[in-house]
C-alpha cells in the first residue's frame, strides 16, 4: 500500500502549502518530490492530481480545505490528519491509529488566514 505525507521542514503540511510530497510503501520512503501546488493555480487539486498519477490512495495532511478534500473524495484518495512531525504521522498511520477524515478540517484557502493557532506535536 502506497501513501503520501505532505511535508514542510519535517512537519506535516496542507495540500496547497506543503513544500514536498513524500511517498511511502509498507517498507519506507520511496519518493520525494516538490509539491506541484506551489507552482499551479489549482493549488491543492494539483497535489491530488500528482497523487493519482502515482496510484496513491492514502494521504496524510495537517489540515485540508473543502476544495481539495472534495477532489480527494472524487478521485478516491482517503485523507488522514496528523499534526506534527512527519515521523510520528507515518508511525501512527502504519500502526492504524489515524482515523480517515469524513470532512475538510479547514473552510478553504484564505478563509481563516491567521486565525488558526495549530498545536504541533
112, part of any domain? no
pTM of the model as a whole: 0.86
54, part of any domain? yes
pLDDT digits (tens, 9 = 90+) for 2-30: 999 999 999 999 999 999 999 999 899 99
pLDDT digits (tens, 9 = 90+) for 81-107: 999 999 999 999 999 999 999 999 986
119, part of any domain? no
Which residue in 77, 80, 75, 83 sits closest to 95, CA to CA? 80
Please say whether the beta carbons of 23 and 6 come within 8 A. no
| Domain that includes residue 18, residue range | 3-94
Please say whether the beta carbons of 112 and 35 come within 8 A. no
Q: Is the pLDDT of residue 66 over 90?
A: yes
Please say whether the beta carbons of 89 and 121 come within 8 A. no
Mean model confidence pLDDT for the chain: 89
Amino acid at each position: 500500500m502506497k501513501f503520501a505525507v505532505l511535508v514542510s521542514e519535517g512537519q506535516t503540511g496542507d495540500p496547497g502549502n506543503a513544500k514536498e510530497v513524500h511517498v511511502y510503501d509498507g517498507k519506507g520512503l520511496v519518493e520525494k518530490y516538490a509539491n506541484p501546488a506551489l507552482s499551479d493555480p489549482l493549488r491543492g487539486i494539483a497535489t491530488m492530481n500528482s497523487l493519482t498519477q502515482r496510484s496513491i490512495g492514502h494521504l496524510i495532511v495537517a489540515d485540508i480545505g473543502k476544495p481539495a478534500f472534495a477532489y480527494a473524495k472524487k478521485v478516491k484518495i482517503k485523507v488522514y490528519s496528523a499534526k506534527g512531525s512527519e515521523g510520528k504521522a507515518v508511525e501512527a498511520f502504519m500502526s492504524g491509529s489515524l482515523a480517515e477524515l469524513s470532512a475538510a478540517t479547514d473552510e478553504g484557502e484564505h478563509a481563516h488566514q491567521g486565525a488558526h493557532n495549530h498545536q504541533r506535536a
